[in-house]
Structure 1
Amino acid sequence: MAQACRTVLALDALATQNLKEGITFSRSSDGHCFIIYRQQDTFRACRNQCKHQGGLFIADIEDMGGRTVRCTKHNWKLNVATMQYVNPPDSFLQDELEVVRSADGSLELLELDPPDPWAADPRPVQDLQPGEVTLTYITHACMELKAGGKRMMFDPWLTGPAFARGWWLLHEPPEDAVERMCRADLIYISHMHSDHLSYPTLQLLSQKRPDVPVYVGDTSRPVFWYLDRSGVNLTNIKVVPFGIWQNTLDAVTDPPAGVRVFKEFWEFDVYVDKLNASVSSEVFKDESWIRVYYSWAGFQNYNLVIRMIETDDDFQRLDGGYDYLVDFLDLSFPSVRPQREHSYLEIQNRVGVMRNVVLNGLLWDDLYIGFNNRISRDPDIYHHRFWTHFQSELPLSAPDWNTFLRERPAPNPAPTPALLPALLPQQGHSSLFFHFWLKLVRWVEWVRRYFW
């Protein structure tokens, strides 16, 4: 379908003349809201709708220059003079309307209609026969769709945690959920977050039917970027362009009688012990890994300083854990915050999850979305560029820790797993001597840190 320009707001000459310098909020006759910015005889305009989640903008009382509006949902801020979002910084541009001035002094705001022509001419709706299409809720985002003789499953997360150890299934999958998955004609995985792309679940699939067609979208970072290192063997992954799906289903049913709805047990130890095994890696014997890791990550030339603090499960700082600064302006690692004006994040991370992320070159979703860290920021600004990098733009291959260990000089004493006995498996040692040895090592480390 072809697009055409249509007028969404028209102001006569007097109304245009009365527009004040700076920001004006205006409403059309059909109730739609717009923002107009005037600087002398120059005008810019957009819809009053935040690009994040569609919230309305209001005047930003903190902006003395009269150029910024603030979203009422999440405090995103838009500089209407540039159509650039300033909170989060370095993020998005607002969709701008065309401003047309007439010789008589009137003004019109134009936009293309329809804005999404590919969605404006859907196929005609066809009647369904009873039972022809059924949609069954499995758990979380996992659904099973039967259409005619075909069976599809979406986003199967049936076992294990998501985001390292931050999320666990609330609802108990049906007893035959894994078998349903293995019988599916295709599986669709919407994106790479681990509550949708579950490697523990796909491990079960690969053991029984590795050749099932698994469809994913063609995203900038491949959905299955971690597949080769996951131990999962799927042989029929299909990457396809995104399209438009339209649903006409309208049905809600109760679960069958006797079905257990909520989970009553999770295998915490199997997964948490695997994460905590990273704590004892040789990589972390001294602090030289810090420079190697952040150099590998490749984020710099951004005026942000972060303080990373390793903690226990209750976010209490660990004796002997790492506590360091990273200055991303020049990718340096100062001992104190720089004197210049800068943005600052203080991030407390559960040590097992953080070290697992570092060792395996994983995205920071495991930390951030998985509730495995706590963050304070000064000023209170979401750094879109920083989080986008660490959540989706890290290198596809993990840091080369084998080369690092071969080339690293003999390490000086530094935080080691011996200082974190509660986090490590005891391997059957329960003797008095073993516990005495742990206390002695901790005492020596304390003396070294404070007196040497």
Structure 2
Amino acid sequence: MHGGQAQEQRMLFDPWLTGPAFARGWWLLHEPPADALERLCKADLIYISHMHSDHLSYPTLQTLSERHPDVPIYVGDTSRPVFWYLDRSGVKLTNINVVPFGVWQNVDQHLRFMILMDGVHPEMDTCIIVEYKGHKILNTVDCTQPNGGQLPHNVDLMMSDFAGGASGFPMTFSGGKYTEKWKEDFIKNERKKLLNYKAQLVKSLQPKIYCPFAGYFVEAHPSDRYIKETNVKNHAEDLNALITKQDPNITTWTPKPGAVLDLGLALRDPSDRNSITDPPPGIQIYKNSWNFDLYLNELNAAIHEEIFRHEDWIQFYYTWAGFKNYDLVVRVIETDDDFNPLPDGYDYFVDFLDLSFPRERPGSGRPYEEIKNRIGVMRHVVKNGLLWDNLYIGFQNRLSRDPDMYHHRFWNHFQTELPLIGPDWDLFLQQVTERGIHKKTEAPNTTGNGCTLS
């Protein structure tokens, strides 16, 4: 959670204070201050940049909705609504404001803000400019090309992402070139490129103060130890050091729990040490426990849903998803936490050329992708009609491709373009009851290995 106070106006950006993001793949790196939830519930307005769950945290918003459901929340008018899942989430928020891009929103006579779209992902990502008494804060969040590259220079404070590692590629891939050495070299090179790009962007825009804002997550669950060790990320301190080296006139600040930047003091006198307050002595900076069981039990509850006792859920789900007329065969395998196929899990093929479900892989060199998904997350995603970012960005699957090529249309559809209204599983159960379709007699054994259902 990041925010600021302009006199009596308290504005927060993207509050993530509890629970995981991307199903169970991302966890908070830092321990939020003890009063963080209290401060959240006293906010005057909240900006949420986009629908990814490290920015739109439903566990956090659940607490907010119980105590301050009518707090004004502002989001950009993206083609896929930021709060598309709100009605099904159980979170009750009553004052969500969708605003057009590039239009100032006046909060009071001194405070206003403008939400801007991303030039690369306009359907989803946004960023924001906040102005208070003529002083500007630019937060580019996760945008790849914020506002198409048209950004203000000499703002008082600039904030951006910095870490990298927000993708399953290449850690979750196997076969062909994807050796551990190849992955290590690729990741190292990509992180270096990101660090240099961010430093150059900051130098070109000449903010008075720069703050690395988005990227403080860790793959904390023990089952994701491989990802944690492989998915090396940039450190905020390294980016700030690079910026200082390239332009010593730009002040940098690395935020930590309990630390405070007094922008007013900093702008009046950059050398004033009182403008930055370090975390209080003894405060816990890094988290050491995450209450894994609570959130994993919620996810794994989907394993035993009645719909998955009927094999026809596969056709019903992919018909609902609405992706076809694309030359790709996908094999989906339900697995345990270690990506071992489950004896009673589903193992099926989907041919997206005609949306058929063959019993074996079609021949003739068709493009092919094999996806092993942790059963609890996959069934949670299927049941709720969620986007596959939970699987892919959350490191909850393992992938191999033949040939090794990226199928943009397929992944773009399942990551951003699934229907806004979830599958009608009541209708599905009614249909299978009427047809008397055979049920599987047992729920999957999530600790097993070996054979698959054909």
Counterparts of 1:287-436 in structure 2 under 5 Å? 287-408=311-432, 409-414=435-440, 416-417=442-443, 419-420=444-445, 422=447
Letter in 1 for 2:279: P
2:69·2:93 contact (CA, 8 Å) conserved in 1?
A: yes
Does 1:213 find its partner at 2:213?
A: no
Q: Deviations over 1:341-386 (max 9, x none)?
A: 4211100000000011111111111111111101111122111111
Would you identify which runs of 4 or more consecutive aligned residues in structure 1 move more than 6 Å? none
* Structure with the higher helix share, 1 or 2: 2
Matched ranges for 1:170-185 at <5 A: 170-185=29-44
* TM-fit CA distance, 1:421: 6.0
Q: Could you give the per-residue CA deviations for residues 392-421 of structure 1, whole angstroms, max 9, x where no partner exists?
A: 11111111111111220334353731x416
CA distance in 2, matches of 1:315, 1:415: 23
Whole-angstrom CA distance in 2 between matches of 1:260 and 1:313: 30
Alignment correspondent of 1:276: 300
Contact 1:280 1:416 in 2 (8 A): no
Shift of 1:422: 4.7
Residues 329 and 369, structure 2, Cα contact 8 Å, conserved in 1: yes
Identical positions, percent: 63
Match of 1:248 in 2: 156
C-alpha distance in 2 between matches for 1:164 and 1:176 = 26
Tell me the secondary structure at the aligned position of residue 347 of structure 1. strand
1:51-89, Cα deviation, whole Å (9 max, x unpaired) = xxxxxxxxxxxxxxxxxxxxxxxxxxxxxxxxxxxxxxx
Q: Give the counterpart letter for 2:339 in structure 1.
A: F
Q: So what's the TM-score if we normalise by structure 1?
A: 0.61
Contact 1:158 1:201 in 2 (8 A): yes
* Cα pair 1:150 1:185 within 8 Å, conserved: yes
| Higher percent of residues as strand | 1
Give 3-state SS (helix, strand or coil) of 1:329's partner. coil
Does the aligned pair in 2 maintain the 1:284–1:416 contact within 8 Å? no
What is the distance in 1 between the residues matched to 2:401 and 2:373?
Answer: 15
Write out per-residue CA displacement over residues 186-245 of structure 1, whole angstroms, 9 at most, x where no aligned residue: 100000001100111001001110110000111011000011111111111011123352
Answer yes or no: is the 8 Å Cα contact 1:284–1:415 preserved in 2.
no
Q: Please give the residue correspondences for 1:40-59 in structure 2 after superposition, counting only pairs within 5 Å.
A: none
- 1:279 aligned counterpart, secondary structure: helix
What SS is found at the alignment partner of 1:187?
A: strand
Pick closer, same or farther for the CA change 1:322–1:449 going to 2, 3 Å. closer
Give the unaligned 5+ runs of structure 1. 1-141, 424-441
C-alpha separation in 2, matches of 1:151 and 1:350: 40
Residue equivalent to 2:289: 265
Give CA deviations for 1:276-295 in whole Å, capped at 9, x if unaligned. Answer: 11111111113111000000
Q: Which letter does structure 1 place at the counterpart of 2:395?
A: F
1:150 aligns with 2:9: yes
Find the counterpart in structure 2 of residue 231 from structure 1.
Answer: 90
Whole-angstrom CA distance in 1 between matches of 2:446 and 2:417: 35
Report the Cα offset of residue 267 of structure 1.
1.2
- Higher-RCO chain (CA-CA 8 Å, sequence separation at least 6): 2
Between the aligned partners of 1:415 and 1:170, the Cα distance in structure 2 is: 42
Q: Would you say the 8 A contact 1:187–1:215 is kept in 2?
A: yes
The superposition leaves residues 120-148 of structure 1 with CA deviations (integer Å, 9 ceiling, x where unpaired) of xxxxxxxxxxxxxxxxxxxxxx2112223
Q: Measure how far apart 1:264 and its partner are.
A: 1.4
Could you say if the C-alpha distance between residues 317 and 176 of structure 1 is closer, same or farther in structure 2, counting changes exceeding 3 Å?
A: same
Q: Distance in 1 between matches of 2:394 and 2:58?
A: 16
Q: Determine the C-alpha separation between the residues in 2 that align with 1:149 and 1:404.
A: 52
Structure 2 runs not aligned, ≥5 long: 103-115, 117-128, 130-137, 139-154, 158-208, 210-251, 254-275
Superposed CA deviations along residues 140-160 of structure 1, whole A, max 9, x for unmatched, are: xx2112223321110001011
Count of residues in Structure 1 that have an aligned counterpart in Structure 2: 287
Matching of residues 73-88 of structure 1 within 5 Å: none
| Structure-1 residue corresponding to 2:26 | 167
RMSD of aligned residue pairs (Cα, Å): 2.2
